[in-house]
Structure 1
Amino acid sequence: MRMTPSKSGQHIPAGVWALGFVSMLMDISSEMIHALLPVYMVAVLGTSTLAVGIIEGIAEATASITKVFSGSLSDWLGKRKLLATLGYGLAALTKPIFPLASSLDWLVAARFVDRVGKGIRGAPRDALVADIAPPELRGASFGLRQSLDTVGAFLGPLLAIGLMWLTGDHIQAVFWIAVIPAILSVGLILVAIKEPERPKELRRIRMPLHREELGRLGATYWWVVAIAAVFTLARFSEAFLILRAQSIGLPLALIPIVLVIMSLAYSLSAYPIGALSDRVDRLTILILGLALLVFADLVLAFATDILGVSIGVVLWGLHMGCTQGLLSTLIAETAPAELRGTAFGLFNLVTGLALLAASVIAGALWDVTGPQGTFLAGAVFAVLTVLGLLSVRDRLRRLRLA
């Protein structure tokens, strides 16, 4: 018998909660910086929006590539907490580079190294959630971790707004304060997370990325990865939401409110959707998420004031809440337990490359056609993705994906 959403949260293991708070603290730190970084690059350093798209895409693709190797290494070692801690620690060490950077080169380097840290921790952490969570609460557990992570994603920009006001728009001062929650995140994972013992009957993995091992992931897993890749092509970096707000004349100090609104919608929806996915058709929820993305793109394409942009950003956040935790749940369920790290790593590699392509295309479209063309193109691709999912829905159900 499935637990209801109101009860499932009471039974989610403490380790999942702790991992959620670790993610939240690091996201507070990262988003305090990232909420201001695109505007700082464009308005202060004179970077083009195409360059912003390339930089953001490369940064996320770097994280995704790193996740393949860290995830596979966690399968080989049978140790996930060690690699997750290393990744959080590296990210914390790079945070002081942002306020010290004196040129675009330094900012790009800092962003790159920070994303390497994200890549090292991502797949082992997600595999650790799957290892800790009971199967009947896996959707709720991933939804909870995603919700707490996203609480950080809206607290970070909110803090950035307040600190920009208190410091008189002193961006470097905000960047320095962002170092604090990053350090707290590393401390928490060290003391509060206990990795479960590896079951003795679980097969040992010698070469996780060998062709034979990749074949063991199975057809259903690769279908999930393919769906996620096409889905990611239908969206692009949230940096373009920030630039959209700037394009309607939102003051510099209030720019981070965009990420606050989006992340609040994301956070409030991720856990309920995750819990719901433990009991209903998951493919239907994915299609709902894509429909929300279509509406978000259309609203953002034609918005003329802050109200319109805000509505579009809320819809964007809701679409993230309907999809991101759910895709992680599907990866956890379709991959063998001994290959979960590798499975999450490959999943993140493919979606990261798709996000790179989407962000570069979005940046180029913005430079040529402006924001309207960029978001309309996103809506068209999202519609095509919905049609594609509907066309293979029966096949996916036969594979027991839904």
Structure 2
Amino acid sequence: MGRRARRAALAAFAALSLTSLFADATYEGARSVSGPFLEYLGAGILAAGALSVGDLIAYAGRVAGGILAHRSGRPGVYWLLVFTGYTVNLVAVPLLALAGRWWEAFALYTVERVGKGVRTAPRDAILASVAEDLGPERRGLIFSLHETADQVGALAGGLIVAAALVKAGSYRLAFTILAVPAAAALASLAAAYHWYPEPRVSRPPGGPGRPAVPGWAAGLSLAAGLGMASFMHWGLASYRLSTLGIPAGEVALLYTAAMAADAAAALPIGVLYDRSPAATLALGPLASAAATTLLALQASPLAASLAWGVAMAFYETAFRASAARAPPESRAAVYTMLYASMGAGWTLGNIALARLLANPHAAASLAWALAAAGALTALLKAGEKRL
């Protein structure tokens, strides 16, 4: 690979990382108080638990975006889906300032998830192409650095929202301010396209209707889905924290702590993945069950939030890096399978957890049973070997 092409890939990686930083500041800032905001607008606990349905829709969007990108096999379509998804994802957040009823806010949170869904699989396929250009033996490191940028943004977004709530007591002011990082994210995305307009993607050899998916992808997807089923959604977690009497501003700060833990854990997880992939993947479901247990048993809110962030880092770093090893022509399809399983698992698991929280020990037991199955699947079926 030529020096000029490598510089372009590095510049694109930096721009994509900044895009994620600013985008996460926008939508994660809004999501940090999703539970308290719905409670403020008059919603019940089942509505908060149903926020995970928005993530199911988001994961369905990931499936749709991945299929469209995979079948097209054209770089321009990949980038079009990425730009469209980010625009929808980011515009929905400032509109929350106009929501006056809980179902309006719920709808906007769902629309925001749809935008995130549509762009995620093609974005990750582009990022996998960049990672290959920068060194395939460092996939874990590259995806971990990208995740670190994500969570630095999420940390900033949570602080913005917390400051607006503490100083002004205004959800609407907080959501309006988030329009600034939203604009910065779209500008960074334009820079990434400028540096890397032709990612290495191609039409699958079996034709656009028959994706060439590696056999290990099903095991990887199942392991991730079982792990996510054991992982309490932040909408449900933040609602639970709010009902304990914790003010909304403090809930936002707890989410900020979770994002800081995610950012701190991402790099070590990425390095560990490059050395021992299967073991790292197996740790993800166990970490999510631990976080769910702390939240269900109403342990220290700070400890529970930190555990939640570490668990999320496993899915956003190790599992994404593992999917990146697929051949260029099938990466979008593999990410589609992975995200479909994660979305279904997260939604169904959280519906069950919401109903079981009256008996916290039962909720924790379910989480550990699902996590154990996910860890075993990762070890036996994900097809990972040490590089």
Q: Report the TM-score, using the length of structure 2 for normalisation.
A: 0.88
CA contact (8 A) 2:130 2:199 kept: no
Which residue, 304, 310, 322 being the options, matches 1:330?
Answer: 322
Q: 1:347-398 CA deviation, whole Å, 9 max, x = no partner?
A: 21221111111121122223xx1655434432343234335555x3xx655x
SS in 1 for 2:196: coil
Residue matched to 2:213: 217
Letter in 2 for 1:260: T
1:100 equivalenced with 2:89 (yes/no): no
1:144 equivalenced with 2:145 (yes/no): yes
Distance 1:387 1:132, change over 3 A: closer
Residue matched to 2:187: 187
Letter in 2 for 1:241: A
Distance 1:199 1:237, change over 3 A: closer
Distance 1:288 1:119, change over 3 A: closer
Residue matched to 1:301: 296
Letter in 1 for 2:250: L
Aligned residues: 374
Residue matched to 1:30: 27
Which residue, 302, 309, 315 being the options, matches 1:317?
Answer: 309
Quote how far apart the aligned CAs of 1:206 are: 8.3
Residue matched to 2:4: none
1:125 equivalenced with 2:120 (yes/no): no
CA contact (8 A) 1:301 1:373 kept: no
Partners of 2:175 and 2:337 lie apart in 1 by: 32
Quote how far apart the aligned CAs of 1:293 are: 3.1
Quote how far apart the aligned CAs of 1:230 are: 1.4
Distance 1:12 1:258, change over 3 A: farther
Which residue, 352, 366, 371 being the options, matches 1:377?
Answer: 366
SS in 2 for 1:218: coil
Distance 1:323 1:349, change over 3 A: closer
Distance 1:133 1:196, change over 3 A: farther
Partners of 2:361 and 2:269 lie apart in 1 by: 30
Residue matched to 1:6: none
Residue matched to 1:386: 375
CA contact (8 A) 1:17 1:144 kept: no
Quote how far apart the aligned CAs of 1:296 are: 2.8
1:246 equivalenced with 2:238 (yes/no): no
Partners of 1:88 and 1:28 lie apart in 2 by: 13
CA contact (8 A) 1:72 1:339 kept: no
Which residue, 28, 46, 50 being the options, matches 1:50?
Answer: 46
Distance 1:384 1:123, change over 3 A: closer
Letter in 2 for 1:261: A
Q: 1:205-240 CA deviation, whole Å, 9 max, x = no partner?
A: 6854x3x32xx2121122111211111111131123
CA contact (8 A) 2:231 2:292 kept: no
Partners of 2:43 and 2:205 lie apart in 1 by: 46
Quote how far apart the aligned CAs of 1:327 are: 0.5
Letter in 1 for 2:174: V
Distance 1:86 1:371, change over 3 A: same
Quote how far apart the aligned CAs of 1:204 are: 5.3
CA contact (8 A) 2:121 2:336 kept: yes
Partners of 1:291 and 1:133 lie apart in 2 by: 28
Quote how far apart the aligned CAs of 1:203 are: 4.8
Percent identity between matched residues is: 24
Distance 1:320 1:91, change over 3 A: closer
1:39 equivalenced with 2:36 (yes/no): yes
Partners of 1:41 and 1:111 lie apart in 2 by: 10
**Structure 2 residues not aligned, in runs of 5+:** 1-6
Distance 1:250 1:370, change over 3 A: farther
1:351 equivalenced with 2:342 (yes/no): yes
CA contact (8 A) 1:234 1:385 kept: no
CA contact (8 A) 1:95 1:114 kept: yes
Partners of 1:293 and 1:92 lie apart in 2 by: 27
Partners of 1:158 and 1:349 lie apart in 2 by: 31
Quote how far apart the aligned CAs of 1:269 are: 1.0
Partners of 2:288 and 2:199 lie apart in 1 by: 40
Letter in 1 for 2:183: I
Letter in 2 for 1:120: V
CA contact (8 A) 2:89 2:112 kept: yes
Quote how far apart the aligned CAs of 1:263 are: 0.9
- RMSD over aligned Cα, in angstroms? 2.6
Please say which of residues 350-359 and 371-380 is displaced more in the overlay. 371-380
SS in 2 for 1:83: helix
Partners of 1:302 and 1:361 lie apart in 2 by: 16
Partners of 1:257 and 1:373 lie apart in 2 by: 28
